[in-house]
Each structure stands twice: as structure tokens, then as C-alpha cells.
Amino acid sequence: MNCIRCGPGWRWIFSISVIGRSGSTCRSCSEPFVKASGSEYLAEKFFPLPHTIQNIGRVLNPKEKKQFYTLLLGDVLVNVLDILFLAGLLWVIQYYIQPAQTYRPSFLPPWLANRDSVLLIALFVLLFGVKNFLGYWISKRQARFVNGVAIRISYNNLLEYQRSSFDSFVNTDSSVHIRNICFRPFDFCQYMLSGLQQIITQLSLMAMTVLAILLFNAKLFLLLLLVLLPPVSVVFWFVKKKLTAYKKDIQQSNEHSFRYVLDALKGYVEGNIYHRNDFFLQRFIRARRTFSTHLFNSLALQNLPARIIEVFAVLGLFVLVLIAKYSGNNSSMLITIGAFMAAAYKIIPGMVKVINLFGQMRAYEFAAAEPSITSSSTNKTVPAGAPGPIGSIGMRHVHFKYGDRHLLHDFSTEIQPGDFLGISGESGRGKTTLFNLLLGFLPVEKGAILFNGIATPPEDIQKYWPQIAYVRQQGFFIHDTVLRNITLEETAPDQQRLTEALQATGLDEVLKLFPEGLEKMITENGKNISGGQQQRIAIARAIYKNAPFILLDEPFNELDEEAAQKMLAWFK
């Protein structure tokens, strides 16, 4: 077959020297919609905490759950020790300032009971320091644990993207994937995982405080319940309702603003040439303003519970003062008033923290509910087992269409080792689609893709990817050196294959223009090199792979005729 110079609308297949993902996601948000049953809806609506805990449990693997429970127990223990040491501090101060004949504790040994000695204070300070060091150690372990969970989720989400469907790659906006991979795992860990741990800790401390009140004075507990329960219920309902409204706007506007800023960054040339910078700027600012407004409104809302609950606590205090005034039992009521104040100002901060944390958890619950971050991954993996060398690739009576538009109708062909094929056609007639079918990115509507004469479904075509190299029409570049853009690996390159790739593409001469040579840094999307240099690097990457089949999609349209003919001669 005669060689034809590649121009606009040309595709070339070289089978001397002709990759794909499975699964599918929502085109708009990459999240499947799951219809909940009536009981699940009621449970989430009226008893949301167990539902939230269940969602978090789906994300953590067994090892992480064990770590979570262990660290949670340690956190509760440290908080209990904080209370006990605070009480102990008051007791030590009282012990030293009281006269010796007033109080002599029987449980202290003589060498500690001496008020003229500082051994008791020294021992207390030592134990206090050990307690604080234990608290710091547990906090550090918690930070390491949360960090590990976030990194694992990001790893799994990126892995899932790499194994997702070609349809997801084409139709889902990059901002959605970036949020799922980079931001959503840390939202989950910061607001859901850490929030749940703090809620359980605060509820445990509040429960112990309530138990102490019951043992001291059950009537006082009833008064606290009557005073604090109504405002807590009303505030909790109000905060939950407002944050539920905020969370959807926060999520959507954040993704929109990220999408728009990517468009603005990529549209630097078009924005200036077409005088459309204001278009990019205004739509980003509108989305970002919506995000910021709802975000900071939700943060301001967190100050409301403390203010309202404190008002009712003061009201309860005045009720006790009035009771003491008109009952005439001032001495006993003074103790009750003191206990009420101590209990209220111990319970109120806990209540406020629980309400705020739970509001945050409700606002960010989507981070735990998303199936892609669950511990039991449903990712499809590349089938195991090498299929043997490729002897031929073909299509047999293939039909394919997009909607009502037919691109391939009863198409058949076969490519043998040594074949040198070019495919021409008008733009949009299905040349790239043909390659996507051959490589298993898209399933055929009718007919079959043949490898070695055998009909091969897309999931089995993946087995042949190690023997295939592909240069897309839109070049792919990473922000790294020329060398890494060719090899796509961190390890030392194969020098023989690298030299061959550089010579075949003429990069050996091009690199002489750069003092750094192969260490020349390529910026985002190859913006700091010419189109011809981009194509040389992309083709060098395919040659370096040393695959028996190479597919090139409009590979020479940025090269001069001499360079294109030189590469064609090398491929032949």
C-alpha cells in the first residue's frame, strides 16, 4: 500500500509495530442513584445518627474499624482523666490551704500526707504530665489514622477512575473526578470520621455528668431536663433543616466553581484573543460567591446553639434562685444552685459541640454515602493471564451508531503483522470510533472484534493492551521531564529502546535545542513546547513501548513533510 501523508482527517494504523475501561457512571455527577425503601427513609429522616454511622462503617475496612474503636476508647479515657485530674487539682489545692487539724485523708500514706512536703504536688504534676502526654500521643495516632483513611480512599477513587468506562472518561467533567479523588475523601475524614469520634466522646462525658447528677440529686436532673431539652430540640431541628438546605448548594456550587476556573485557566489564549476574559471571570465568581455564601452561613450558624442554650440555662438558674428565696432553705439550695451551674456549664458545651458536629456531618454526609469510597470496591480489574502474541486483529460485520447516526454498517477488515494501513475520511465519520472499538473502549452494536481470529469482547481485549501502543489525536503530557513523558515511569529507562525512539522521531536533534536535554521540563498539557515537538514526544512514547501493534490518530499534522516522511519510512 502506498504511503499517504497524514493531513486533517487522516488516521493511520501500523500493525508492525495496530487501552479501555469497563463499568459506567452517571454522566453528570458520576454517582449512581439509589432508591431507598420506606423504612430506610424514615430511619434516615427521624433517627439519622445510626444511618450516618452505618454509612461510615461501609467506608472503613475491618482493620480501620478496629483502629477507630481503639482510638475512640483512648479519647474517651483521656477526657475522663481530664475531669478527674481537674477534680484532683481542686482537692490538692484545698488540702494544702486547709488547716492540718481540719482534714486528714486516711488513704494517703504518711510520706504524702505531710503538708509541709511538696511530694504530693510533685507526684500530681508528674501524673498530670503523663496524662497530657498520653492525650497528645492519642491525638497523634488519630491524625495518622485519619490521614491513612483519606489516602486509601483517594487511592481507591483514582484506581476506580482508571478502570472506569470510556463513557465516563469522555462525558464526566474533570472537576467531578478531581473532587471525588482529592477533596471528597478528606471531607469524609475531617467532617464525618473525626466528627463521629468527637460526638461519641462528648455524649459519653455528658452521660457521666448526668449519672453524677442523678446520684447527687434526681430533682436537679429533672430541672436540667426541663430547662435544656426544649431549646436543644428546637435548635437541633432548626440547624439540621438549614444545613440540609446549605449542603446541596455547597456541593454543587463548589464543583461548578472548580469547573469554571479550569475553563478559565485552559482558555487563556481564547479569553484574550476573543476578548472573553470577562465571560470566564463572571461565571466563576458567580459560582464561587454562591459557594462562599452558603459555606460561611453554615459556619455562622454554629454559633447559634450556644447562645440559645445559655439563655435557658440562665433562666433555670434564676428559677432556682427564686425557689431558694421563697422556700427559706437558702443553705441547701445554695449547694443545689452551685451543682446546677457546674452541671449546666459542663453539659452545655458538650451539647453545643454535638449539635455543631452533627450538623457538619449531615452537611457532608454525601462524602460517606458515595459508593465509590466504600471499603468493598466493585472495580473491575484487568483480566489475568497473558493471551499470547497477537497474530491478527479484525472486525467482522460490525455495526455501530451514536443515537440515530450510523457510523459503521456491516464493516469488516483484518490486519496482519507487517501490514501498513491508512484510513481516510471526513471529520466526524467515525475514524477515532473505529480505533476505540478495536481497543475495547466501546462495545460494538452488532458483529465482533477479532483477535487471532476469535471474537473478543471488550473486557478480554484488555488482555492484549500490553502488546498495543496508541497515540491519541489529542496529545497527553504530564508536568515532568521529556524523559518521563516518554517512559511514563520513575525507574531508569531502557537505553537501547530510548535511543531508537529518539532517533526515529527526530527528538535527538530537537533536544539539542534545550540545555537540559531529556531533563527539559514539560509544563501542563505541553504548553511550553511546539505542536510538532508534542507529536514527536507522543510518538516516541509509543515506539519506546516496543509494542507489536501501534495505532496513531492524526500523528503528523503538526510536522513538516520531511519529518513526516522520515517517520513513515521508519514505520515501514
* Top-confidence residue, 167 or 25: 167
* Top-confidence residue, 539 or 177: 539
Say what the pLDDT of residue 126 is: 92
- The three three-digit cell numbers of residue 178, written as one number: 478531581
Say what the pLDDT of residue 292 is: 82
- pLDDT, mean over the chain: 77
State yes or no: pLDDT of 559 exceeds 90.
no
Closest alpha carbon to 139 in 184, 198, 222:
198
Residues ≥6 apart with Cβ < 8 Å to 409: 399
Distance CA 359, CA 238 (A): 10
Say what the pLDDT of residue 1 is: 34
Confidence tier at 412 by pLDDT (50, 70, 90): very high
- Average pLDDT of span 307-328: 69
For residue range 465-496, what is the model confidence (pLDDT) as tens digits?
889 999 988 888 888 899 999 998 888 899 99
State yes or no: pLDDT of 56 exceeds 70.
yes
Counting every residue written for the chain, the total comes to: 572
- Positive or negative, the CA dihedral 225, 227, 232, 237 is positive
Say what the pLDDT of residue 73 is: 92
Q: Is the separation of the CB atoms in 469 and 18 below 8 Å?
A: no
- Average pLDDT of span 351-371: 67
Q: Angle, to 10 degrees, between the axis of helix 119-162 and the axis of helix 194-216?
A: 140
- Average pLDDT of span 185-192: 83
Please give the C-alpha separations between residue 84 and each of 80, 88, 127, 209, 345, in angstroms, as whole numbers.
6, 6, 12, 12, 16
State yes or no: pLDDT of 40 exceeds 70.
no
User: At residue 328, what are phi and psi to the nearest 5 degrees?
Assistant: 80, 0
- Average pLDDT of span 516-536: 89
State yes or no: pLDDT of 103 exceeds 50.
yes
Where exactly are the structural domains of the chain? Answer: 10-22+392-571, 44-373
- DSSP for 518-548? GGPEE-GGGTTS-HHHHHHHHHHHHHHHT-S
Distance CA 445, CA 400 (A): 5
Say what the pLDDT of residue 147 is: 86
* Three-point CA angle 407, 172, 533, nearest 5°: 75
Q: Is the separation of the CB atoms in 358 and 191 below 8 Å?
A: no
Sheet holding 10-14, edge to edge: 420-424, 10-14, 549-553, 468-471
* Top-confidence residue, 43 or 97: 97
Closest alpha carbon to 346 in 176, 189, 249, 216:
216
Residues ≥6 apart with Cβ < 8 Å to 515: none
* Top-confidence residue, 336 or 380: 336
- Average pLDDT of span 162-170: 81
- The three three-digit cell numbers of residue 380, written as one number: 473491575
Name the least confident of 16-25, 130-139, 295-304, 358-367: 16-25
Say what the pLDDT of residue 50 is: 67
- The three three-digit cell numbers of residue 461, written as one number: 481485549
Helix (H) or strand (E) run with residue 336 in it: helix 330-363
Sheet holding 454-455, edge to edge: 405-415, 393-402, 446-451, 454-455
Say what the pLDDT of residue 503 is: 92
Q: Say how many CA atoms lie within 13 Å of 340 toward its Cβ.
A: 27
- Average pLDDT of span 535-558: 89
- Average pLDDT of span 392-401: 92
Q: Is the separation of the CB atoms in 72 and 202 below 8 Å?
A: no
Confidence tier at 344 by pLDDT (50, 70, 90): low
Decide: residue 121, CB within 10 A, 0-12 exposed, 13-18 middle, 19+ buried: middle
Decide: residue 116, CB within 10 A, 0-12 exposed, 13-18 middle, 19+ buried: exposed
Say what the pLDDT of residue 326 is: 67
Distance separating the N- and C-terminal Cα atoms of the chain: 10
Confidence tier at 233 by pLDDT (50, 70, 90): confident
State yes or no: pLDDT of 357 exceeds 60.
yes
Helix (H) or strand (E) run with residue 326 in it: helix 304-327
Say what the pLDDT of residue 539 is: 92
Confidence tier at 342 by pLDDT (50, 70, 90): low
Q: What CATH number should be reported for the domain whose range is 10-22+392-571?
A: 3.40.50.300
Confidence tier at 34 by pLDDT (50, 70, 90): very low
Helix (H) or strand (E) run with residue 450 in it: strand 446-451
- DSSP for 427-446? TTSSHHHHHHHHTTSS--SE
Say what the pLDDT of residue 22 is: 35
Which residue intervals of 98-193 are DSSP H helices?
Answer: 110-113, 119-162, 166-171, 174-178, 184-187
Confidence tier at 49 by pLDDT (50, 70, 90): low
C-alpha radius of gyration, the chain, whole number: 34
Closest alpha carbon to 439 in 12, 15, 19:
19
Q: Is the separation of the CB atoms in 367 and 188 below 8 Å?
A: yes
Residues ≥6 apart with Cβ < 8 Å to 495: none
Distance CA 3, CA 20 (A): 29
Say what the pLDDT of residue 478 is: 84
Distance CA 89, CA 421 (A): 87
Say what the pLDDT of residue 28 is: 40
Residues ≥6 apart with Cβ < 8 Å to 46: none
Q: Is the separation of the CB atoms in 209 and 346 below 8 Å?
A: yes
- Average pLDDT of span 196-210: 81
Say what the pLDDT of residue 155 is: 87
* Top-confidence residue, 519 or 310: 519
User: At residue 359, what are phi and psi to the nearest 5 degrees?
Assistant: -60, -40
Q: Is the separation of the CB atoms in 531 and 451 below 8 Å?
A: no
- Positive or negative, the CA dihedral 95, 98, 103, 104 is positive
- The three three-digit cell numbers of residue 135, written as one number: 492525650
Domain 44-373 homologous superfamily, CATH: ABC transporter type 1, transmembrane domain (1.20.1560.10)
* Top-confidence residue, 307 or 378: 307
- Positive or negative, the CA dihedral 448, 453, 457, 461 is negative
Say what the pLDDT of residue 330 is: 57
State yes or no: pLDDT of 347 exceeds 80.
no
